[in-house]
Structure 1
Amino acid sequence: MGELVVNELPKWIVVSLWLIINMAIFLGTFFSYQSSAEYFYLRLIVGNALCVARASAACLNFNCLLVLLPVCRNFVSFIKGACVRCHRVRRQLDRQITYHKYTAYMICLQTAIHISAHCFDFERMITAYDNPDKSIQAVSNLPTSPNGTWVNPVRNPSTDATKEAVSTVSGVSGIIITLCLILIVSSSTETIRRWYFELFWYMHHLFIIFFIGLVIHGIQQIIHKQTNISSHNPENCYKKFDQWDSIKECPIPQFSGSPPQSWIWILIPVIIFIIERIVRFVRSFQRVVITKVVKHPSNVYELHMKKKGFYAEPGQYVFLHCPSISQLEWHPFTLTSAPGEDHISVHIRRVGDWTEELAKKCHVDEGEFQEAWKLPKIAIDGPYGTATEDFFRFDIAVLIASGIGVTPFASVLRYIWHKYSQKRNEFQLKNVHLYWVCPSTSSFEWLQDLLNSLEMQMAQIGKADFLTHNIYLTSGWDSDQAKNIFLHDNSERDAVTGLQQKTHYGRPQWNKVFGDLANAHKGMKIGVFFCGSKELSTKLHRHCNENSSESTGTRFYYNKENF
């Protein structure tokens, strides 16, 4: 039960509340339309498909209200700042991308339900003219008039459902909305985001067309409700269709369209999003100067930049924009510089067209100092917070990274280094454990100096055990290197990294790692921060849950970097 309270319960409370609200909206709308006398005649024609279509539409409106908010990063940062003392709320805000995805999945589900219900609607509207029930025929044949007497929007009984659907604003806008949704969701897979980020970026901006289509979807008002219920009770009069307008209690039923409601739901989030874009636009004109370009092994390069008034907490990230590459694209990168340093730095791996093009424009491969005027113009948006910025709130911080995922932790380690170099330890942290899984020996070089400085500094002040780093080399060594490693195994420093703490070979046995951490830090709050692959994230999350214990009071709080 301890692991549930620590890592799972807050998340599932949020998800359960969201699902309950969705269910309440769906059922409430369904039964409202099913029992409403205003829609009696429309239900007579199409049955409960009307109720299903309107219920799914209501859920779509609600989720379209929510889907933009998690990606309004300034808005999320504002809420996080307001909840500075409420750690559990802040941790849920760090999952904003996860909630954004859940909301998108719900939009897909409700869209499928909505389309299916309306397909059934149109089929029933066409067959209503030949229905054996004469009252349904009479309702369908009500003449068109300026005051909207008709209730069946299909005015031609010899048409087909497809032709009728594409002849309406609702049908055309619905097709466009659905196509946009398919393209947005299908381009959001992990593979496309990693290797074809530009495709993901551009397809995601189809949400603008999606929202425009959503607003105009109901503008034609083809769903009609009865307006003269007080003088024409449909439950009493529908069987007297042949006497309508000849008896006082059953005049001809009158109808009018239902005005669209979607714009009311999405107005506030759209305004918030527009403000976000204005802020980003303003930031794009703030001067940023690239002061240094460093080439590292393993297709990684480092940019040092300066921007007036810029301040970031450790572990935060920024969006970079290079107008000479693309006028629209902004790409997220974790800051590797720490608060107090006189520059902003990011480490960029050359994966994809944009990062490769930026490397060329920064003359990374030329290996010589470039004057500032030869380097491209860069804009910075941010910084934005991640889970890592809360590392100092725990008794123990466990930083786990695979490959380039170590970049957010470089900022954390630099921040610790600065605090201790100034003889200011403001943390409740008692220990920091770094676990880094690397594919090759060349991956160590750019972080090696920082780890070496931290080792020496902590030893000088008598805190050699404050930071432990465990580097796991999974490949990238040959037989000669293996012999050298074996010969120097008993030396004080590692043969590969030159650090005091030795390198491990192969992949970590995470069950043993977490078991040792739980035994070494009984009764403490242990924050586990991870940046890397989804597969490893799932495994680490499970180990955090399994090793949290009520009996010992040990709690593992799992946090994953999300961009």
Structure 2
Amino acid sequence: MVDFTVNEGPKWVVVGAWLIINIGLFVGIFYQYKNNDEYFYLRELVGDALCWARASAACLNFNCMLVLLPVCRNLLSYIRGACSCCHQHVRRTMDKNITYHKYIAYMICLQTVIHIGAHYFDFEHLQNAHSTGDVREILSSLPTSPNGTWVNPIRSSGSDPTRELFKTVAGVSGVIITICLILIISSSTEIIRRSYFELFWYTHHLFIVFFIGFVVHGVERIIHYQTNIKEHNPESCITQTDKWGVSPCPDPQFEGAGPLSWAWVLGPFILYSIERIIRFIRSLQRVVITKVVNHPSHVFELQMKRKGFWASPGQYVFLHCPSISRLEWHPFTLTSAPHEDHFSVHIRRVGDWTEALAKACRVDEGEFQEAWKMPRLALDGPFGTSSEDFMEYDVGVLIGAGIGVTPFASILKHIWHMHCGSSRRMTLQQVYLYWVCPDMHAFEWFQQLLQSLEAQVSERGDPHFLHHQIYLTRGWDNQQAKNIMLHDRASAADPITGLQQKTHYGRPQWDRVFEQLAEDHRGKKVGVFFCGPGGLSTTLHKLCNRHSSSQGAKFYYNKEHF
């Protein structure tokens, strides 16, 4: 029986609880404003548009409170460390932080549309109320007093609703934060982030303007509620407008509702501010580049040291080079293992920033440069990912596509170090590495590590612990294929990689791969770790769900997120 709860259960528990809170908050506030006598006369002016506007505003408060929390990387890393003894599902749930951040952003967009639509009808109704000839016109004509007796913020007939909108703090701030939201969301699409990362980076920082506008949006208090319900019962007095001003129906008195948004977002904003302070303090710590290695396939390696730095395998860091950009920080997975005397990252030269960093580090000069010639770097991290838990599974399956194999360099080094040197029995019993490469040159920078591991596995006489399969998807023609086959038969080593394990040509048949893994590891916990494009991630995720069963193997899918 297929067990979907292995991968989907924890995430949907969190998402389900979040949705229930949103729905409950929306419905509760909607009916509060629909039934509350304090807003009886305001409802007479604008109808149910008031209820829709206030219900969506409550959900906006709630989601704007949450949206910063999933991107507080230091907070999440601290929680991961504090939860190291907790159930694995708790830690895996936190690895979906970027997914939760996106869901919350989508909800903010939805509630913003509802809020804007409701207020559009509000202003239309408030404008028309001056010429209705009934109680709405009387309410609109109530005199303005220091205590805010009026209930209709549009104080004269014949006004242009758009002009009236821009006379209010709420209107101006609402337009500003809506524009910020549109720019933030539109620049967060996959194609923008991949092709124009700087545009994504800078527009995303409009969230500061967004939150300032969000906090001041309600300071003018244009939503007024009745304060003298005991003296002026609206349900009975609404039919006696000719007797208003004398007992038992004195003129209704109104007062502006105070702003609440600041109270919702203050806590998360303080936490995020602490996050940025920590980043600033770390940026002042000296990072020394000890070695620069130029690898094939437009990849270069930076080996670095920083006082007090320590990282677990599979973690990542953010790098910042002030000489290139004062604001940009870019994530890179660590490729060094904890037992090494340095930490390193492998960087592929794609985009303006990575090219500028390669030039600043004199990668193409081909000789060692003194440390003082290297650019100043700042580092934030390390931060935890799902890959940290690879030792908790019975079987580890590492799948990398192209440069996506980078996270597994550190993991493979650490696994073999622990396997050879640890005196205690490890939970991890077998490791599989699947590397899908787009061309022949993509092998070169990583093959040295694999050759070293192969030699150590052969020397130790433990061939069943580590299995690796490399797939070349393109980059050869018919003549090259014939030459490869001739050399392949004549040599014990692979003609392309030099490894004992022969290269496979074409794409893996993933369904067969998972069928075989499920058959070979019945009753085992199989941790599947992937780094690569979204399309393949979706395929692997579905296969993990399909081949997980309550009686057989259970595949726990984990994808690298930055």
TM-score category, normalised to shorter length: over 0.9
Which residue matches 1:391? 390
**1:222, CA displacement in angstroms?**
0.3
Structure 2 CA distance, aligned partners of 1:352 and 1:163?
45
Which residue matches 1:35? 35
SS of 1:3's equivalent in the other structure is coil
> Residue 238 in 1 paired to residue 275 in 2?
no
Structure 2 CA distance, aligned partners of 1:199 and 1:305?
29
Structure 1 CA distance, aligned partners of 2:484 and 2:421?
37
Where do residues 304-323 of structure 1 align in structure 2 (5 Å cutoff)?
Answer: 304-323=303-322
Instruction: Confirm or deny: 8 A CA contact 2:401 2:532 kept in the other structure.
Output: yes
Which residue matches 1:87? 88
* Matching residue's letter, 1:239: T
* Matching residue's letter, 1:92: T
Where do residues 497-516 of structure 1 align in structure 2 (5 Å cutoff)?
Answer: 497-516=497-516
**1:496, CA displacement in angstroms?**
1.1
SS of 2:3's equivalent in the other structure is helix
**1:526, CA displacement in angstroms?**
0.4
**1:481, CA displacement in angstroms?**
3.5
SS of 2:239's equivalent in the other structure is helix
SS of 1:376's equivalent in the other structure is coil
Which residue matches 2:131? 130
Instruction: Confirm or deny: 8 A CA contact 1:484 1:495 kept in the other structure.
Output: no
Which residue matches 1:183? 183
**For residues 418-444 of structure 1, what are the alpha-carbon distances to aligned partners after superposition, in whole Å with 9 as ceiling and x for unaligned?**
224535565311111111110111111
> Residue 162 in 1 paired to residue 162 in 2?
yes
Which residue matches 2:115? 114
Which residue matches 2:412? 413
Structure 2 CA distance, aligned partners of 1:236 and 1:21?
36
SS of 1:370's equivalent in the other structure is coil
Which residue matches 1:437? 436
Structure 1 residues 354 and 391: CA distance shift in structure 2, 3 A: same
**For residues 139-164 of structure 1, what are the alpha-carbon distances to aligned partners after superposition, in whole Å with 9 as ceiling and x for unaligned?**
11111111111000011211122111
SS of 1:512's equivalent in the other structure is helix
**For residues 321-346 of structure 1, what are the alpha-carbon distances to aligned partners after superposition, in whole Å with 9 as ceiling and x for unaligned?**
00101111111000001111111110
Instruction: Confirm or deny: 8 A CA contact 1:337 1:346 kept in the other structure.
Output: yes
> Residue 291 in 1 paired to residue 286 in 2?
no
**1:194, CA displacement in angstroms?**
1.4
**1:458, CA displacement in angstroms?**
2.0
**1:498, CA displacement in angstroms?**
1.1
Which residue matches 1:7? 7
Structure 1 residues 426 and 188: CA distance shift in structure 2, 3 A: farther
Structure 1 residues 424 and 439: CA distance shift in structure 2, 3 A: farther
SS of 1:489's equivalent in the other structure is helix
CA RMSD across the alignment: 1.2
Structure 2 CA distance, aligned partners of 1:391 and 1:480?
42
Which residue matches 2:341? 342
* Matching residue's letter, 1:398: V
SS of 1:124's equivalent in the other structure is helix
Structure 1 CA distance, aligned partners of 2:124 and 2:301?
61
Which residue matches 2:44? 44
Structure 2 CA distance, aligned partners of 1:69 and 1:244?
51
Which residue matches 2:151? 151
Which residue matches 2:492? 492
Structure 1 CA distance, aligned partners of 2:422 and 2:273?
44
> Residue 473 in 1 paired to residue 480 in 2?
no
TM-score under structure 1 length normalisation: 0.98
> Residue 62 in 1 paired to residue 27 in 2?
no
Q: Indicate the larger mover: 219-228 or 441-450.
A: 441-450
Structure 2 CA distance, aligned partners of 1:206 and 1:138?
43
Unaligned 5+ segments in structure 2 are none
Structure 2 CA distance, aligned partners of 1:526 and 1:538?
18
Structure 2 CA distance, aligned partners of 1:127 and 1:264?
34
Structure 2 CA distance, aligned partners of 1:519 and 1:440?
31
SS of 1:527's equivalent in the other structure is strand
Structure 1 CA distance, aligned partners of 2:207 and 2:291?
37
Structure 1 CA distance, aligned partners of 2:551 and 2:425?
30
Which residue matches 1:208? 208
SS of 1:209's equivalent in the other structure is helix
Structure 2 CA distance, aligned partners of 1:160 and 1:329?
44
Structure 1 CA distance, aligned partners of 2:426 and 2:183?
46
Structure 1 CA distance, aligned partners of 2:473 and 2:177?
46
**For residues 434-480 of structure 1, what are the alpha-carbon distances to aligned partners after superposition, in whole Å with 9 as ceiling and x for unaligned?**
11110111111121111112122222223211111111001122445
**For residues 81-125 of structure 1, what are the alpha-carbon distances to aligned partners after superposition, in whole Å with 9 as ceiling and x for unaligned?**
121122101001001000000000000000000000000000000
**1:24, CA displacement in angstroms?**
0.3
Instruction: Confirm or deny: 8 A CA contact 2:321 2:377 kept in the other structure.
Output: yes
> Residue 78 in 1 paired to residue 78 in 2?
yes
Where do residues 520-531 of structure 1 align in structure 2 (5 Å cutoff)?
Answer: 520-531=520-531
Structure 2 CA distance, aligned partners of 1:240 and 1:139?
13
Identical residues among aligned pairs (%): 64
**1:482, CA displacement in angstroms?**
2.0
SS of 1:492's equivalent in the other structure is coil
Which residue matches 1:19? 19
SS of 1:171's equivalent in the other structure is helix
Unaligned 5+ segments in structure 1 are none
TM-score under structure 2 length normalisation: 0.98
Structure 1 CA distance, aligned partners of 2:286 and 2:43?
62
Structure 1 residues 501 and 424: CA distance shift in structure 2, 3 A: farther
